[in-house]
Amino acid sequence: MAQDVIPLVDFNGYFRSFQNGYFRQIEFQRIKDYKYGDNVVGYVDNRSNLRVFDGSAPRDIANLQAEYEVSDNLLVWKIGTTLNMWDDGELQTLTYNADEYIIKDSLIVFQDTRFNTVNVYYNKEIYTLITSSTGLWMPEFVGENIIAFKDNGNFYKVFWRGKIYDLDVWHNPIVFYGDIDILAFNDPINGTFAIFEDGRFLDLEMFHVNKYRGGNGFIVYEDRNNNLVYYSNGKTKVLTSFGPSYWEVKDNVVVWGENNAFYTVYEGEKVELVRYKPEEFAIKNSVIAFRNLMGGVNFFYEGKIHEITNQRDAQFNIHGNSLLVSLFNTSFILFHEGKKYTL
């Protein structure tokens, strides 16, 4: 099973990751670059080798200069036109004729110029989405485990969990948003605001809406009356009727500003976090990090706000449901499973 990896470069230049209550040293010489997701880290060591670390032993995967990207669970690298991937310890070449590609938590979408196809790697299988003899294009939307695309006949379709579902033919672009297991779009054919969920297309509103975004199995949108509406599991709920000044959605989290206060939804209920607009905030998985009034960092975790530091301008990043804060003197504070650790 994958585990959280929380990488950092300490004040001595050592590359470390937090595991099992301590900061483990991954490399004993300075590295050149790294990119991370919740469960995997890709990095270039001092010899310019590309390596992968998932909480076990670091592993060499390329000894040539490579372009690489990382999601929470997958790593891809490209040397010339050859596109390779790492998935849970297994290596695979996706194509020797790659052009554009997109990596997400559960899938990789890529163009194969030899066969003029757009394909998706999902759950250790490769599926063809688009075949064209007149040039290739990427899908209209790529979520963490769901894709909206059109074929060369302008037939819009959805790929979800290894199956393709037909929507309709439309010659102009349709704007999709979603994340995991759900898509939302203004349906130009029927004039409604619609979703794709559980293999079905459903109407949520009888008219188009102003703005919409998707999370993990839910949709948030502004209706025609500027209400902010939350949809999940067949039910809609108005979060605010006052027209939010801003709002964002990611993974399991939605946040918004209302009457100079900062709100979220926790366990189905509206929660006021603070009575001001944070200068900076980040959301991921099920947590929220934000600037407090002192310029430090607070963290919303399991329904409670935790003050991490009041040191101004400290940098912060979310790893899984943990928060790593970098202080001005290159020291670190990690909030992990309800506890603080320092380095």
Structural element, H or E, at residue 49: none
- pLDDT for 1: 37
- pLDDT for 92: 97
- pLDDT for 328: 86
Say how far apart CA 260 and CA 241 lie, in whole Å: 14
DSSP bridge pairs for 146 = 160
Say how far apart CA 44 and CA 34 lie, in whole Å: 6
Say how far apart CA 24 and CA 18 lie, in whole Å: 6
Is residue 42 classed exposed, middle or buried when 0-12, 13-18 and 19+ CB atoms within 10 A define those classes?
buried
Residue 180 DSSP label: B
- pLDDT for 3: 58
The list of the chain residues with pLDDT below 70 reads 1-3
- pLDDT for 171: 85
- pLDDT for 166: 95
Put residue 54 in one of left, alpha, beta given phi > 0 → left and psi -120 to 50 → alpha: alpha
- pLDDT for 158: 97
Kindly report, residue by residue over 278-324, the tens digit of the pLDDT: 999 999 999 999 999 999 999 999 999 999 999 998 999 999 999 99
Kindly report, residue by residue over 45-62, the tens digit of the pLDDT: 999 999 999 998 899 999
Residue owning tokens 């596109």: 83
What DSSP string describes 224-267? TT--EEEEETTEEEEEESS--SEEEEETTEEEEEETTEEEEEET
